[in-house]
Every structure is written in C-alpha cells, then in structure tokens.
Amino acid sequence: MYDVVTFGETMVRLSPPGQRRLEQTNTLEMGIGGTELNTACALSRLGRRVCWVSKLVDNALGRFIANKGREFGVDVGQIAWTGEGRVGTYFIEQAAQPRPISIIYDRRDSAITTLRPSEIDWPSLFQQARLFHTTGINPALGPNVARETKAAMAAAKEAGCKVSFDPNMRFNLWTVAEARRAFLELLPYVDVLFSPAEALDLFFDLKGEPIEAAQAARERWHLEVVVMGRRESLGQLRGAWSSLAVADQVCEGQRREFEVVDRIGAGDAYAAGFLHGYLDGDLAKGVAYGDALCVLKHTVPGDLPWLTMAEVEDLLAGGARSIRR
C-alpha cells in the first residue's frame, strides 16, 4: 500500500564544484535529479510510503538512479527496465549574482520517452495507492510520456486515488501554447494543482489577485485545492519563500528568508510537504510542512532533500537554533 505514487523522468546530474564553470572544471559532482523522484524522496523522509515509476536503462547509470531512490526508501520496484537507449543527463553550473545558474539538459530520447502502454500496469498500481503526483514536464517529453501521463491520471481517478499536478513549465522543452494544450487535457483529472499566480495567467488567462485567480481555476476545473508558492530572489545566495493554499478556505504560510546552497529541487520538496499535510486532510499543515521543506531544501546541495522530520519540526516549532549539538 502506497501513500503516494509519482511518475516521471530522473536524470544523472553533473555539476562543477562550487561556482566553477563547466569550461574551467576537470571534475564534476555526480548526483541525480528529477522533479517527481525528488518529491517522492522528500515524502519518504516524512515517513510516507512512496513508489516512483519510470523507465531506465539497465546499465551503471540507470542503476545509479534506482540506487539513490532506494537509498531514500522509495520503492523502485515498478520501474520498467530496458537494455536499450540512454539515460538522460543534465549539467548545472551554480552561480552568483548577476550570473544566472546555467543548465544544459541532455535528455532527448532518454529511456522514458520510449515507454509503451504495456510497460506499466497503472490500474493494478493504483489499487494500492492513495494519491498520484506528477508534473507538466512529462507531457513535454514526447507523445509516449504524454500518453502514459494521461493514462495514469485516468487510472488513478478510476481507482479512487487523488491526483496532484505541478505544471512546472520548461521553456526549453516546448512553447506555452503546446504546454497549454497538454495541461488542458490533464486538468480534468486533477484534484491538487500547484501553480503560482503568474502561471495561471500565462497558461489560462486567469488574471487578477492570486486568490481570485486560484478560485477561478478551482471552479473551471473542479479542483479541490490550488497551491501557490512565491520565491523571491535576493541575489543568488539569499532568498525568501511564502505560499498559500486556496480551497474553500485559504491557508497562508509564513514568509521565511534563507541562505541558498542549492535551489534546485526546493519546489519539489514543497510539493512533498504540502501533500504530507493534504494526505492528513489538513491544508494548514500542508502549507506549513511545504514551506519548511522548501526553505530547508535551499540549504542542501543537490536535487535531493537530505532532511529529517526532526529538522522540519524544529523549524516549524519556531526554533531559531543556529547550532544543534
């Protein structure tokens, strides 16, 4: 029995040490990253039973990814393995103001893009799950992943699972118009939508105050809740975060400043925190845990949320400890 099933691609993540640039390095740090697995790992850290579904090549790189999921306690037993194809990679340069973080994705034609309908048995999977979470990167990965994403959402609904969706626009993968078309196909299945106000405007022309736009979105697609996060950049090395969840009532979190070690995966950690509360039927808890995980994730190198429940709870308890012996 799973609390959450997530579905999507994970890549090998390669980054020069410190703020070095790719052209000047001769070593790279190797990790993994993929929004849906990032969220799964954070949920597992919060004590949830989680399964991550994907397709991987059976070589050292594919095993590297599955190993890390397993290390976090995520069930990787539903992955479709293949002897062919490639594992996607991405190269990331950390930065300092005013230089932007720079990412080169090399994920074209990775194994997941070859996923065939027979490879994942969605109906069986969702019989033992409470919630299905995925993101808008999937349909951008090509027709096979787009089709399976929709099939998975449909199967989840059919099985009585909740469906959670984070559009996560990637301008390098497709256009806004393409994304809008894809999202409109998926939204009918969605219960929990993660979306900042600007995205509601950009994709769906829902203008106005955030809460109004969110209520309009809820109405249009019969969403249970719209979750809106806001990241403020104070240089590359500092930032602030706040969020709110709009359902029949509105839950608003607390704005928190933080120092940035690695911002990648912070939104994915937020989603995990929110869903943790949502699964308990407590949106305020969701906002609080989401905020805490998001802020803490900014302090951890890599995509993955190397955090503990104790640390999250300490932060929520208002503890401003700077050292913990």
Active site residues: 268
Q: Kindly state the smallest distance separating residue 141's Cβ from a copy of itself, in Å.
A: 15
Nearer CB in complex with a copy of itself: 46/206: 46
Q: Kindly state the smallest distance separating residue 115's Cβ from a copy of itself, in Å.
A: 18
Q: Which of residues 195-224 bind a copy of itself (CB under 8 A)?
A: none
The residue from 172, 209, 248, 317 that contacts a copy of itself (CB under 8 A) is 172
Q: Kindly state the smallest distance separating residue 42's Cβ from a copy of itself, in Å.
A: 14
Q: Are 252 and 244 in contact (CB under 8 A)?
A: yes
Nearer CB in complex with a copy of itself: 19/188: 19
CA distances from 73 to 48, 224, 229, 275 (A): 9, 29, 27, 17
# residues contacting a copy of itself (CB under 8 A): 79
The span from the CA of 269 to the CA of 39, in Å, is 6
- Token pair for 17: 């040490």
The residue from 183, 189, 258, 289 that contacts a copy of itself (CB under 8 A) is 258
- Token pair for 296: 């803490």
Is 256 among the residues that bind a copy of itself (CB under 8 A)? yes
Residue indicated by tokens 């190797």: 30
Q: Phi and psi at residue 7, in whole multiples of 5°?
A: -140, 130
Angle, helix 309-316 to helix 283-297, in steps of 10 degrees: 110
Q: Which of residues 50-109 bind a copy of itself (CB under 8 A)?
A: 59-61, 63-64, 67-68, 70-73, 86-87, 89, 91, 93, 95-106, 108-109
Pattern 287-316, a copy of itself, x by CB under 8 A: --------xx-xxxxx-x-x----x--xx-
Q: Kindly state the smallest distance separating residue 7's Cβ from a copy of itself, in Å.
A: 21
Q: Are 291 and 242 in contact (CB under 8 A)?
A: yes
Q: Which of residues 7-26 bind a copy of itself (CB under 8 A)?
A: 14, 18-26
Nearer CB in complex with a copy of itself: 75/224: 75
The span from the CA of 42 to the CA of 27, in Å, is 28
**Which of 107, 64, 63, 67 is CA-nearest to residue 82?**
63
Q: Which of residues 132-171 bind a copy of itself (CB under 8 A)?
A: 170-171
My answer on whether omega of the bond before 117 falls inside 30° of 0, hence cis, is no
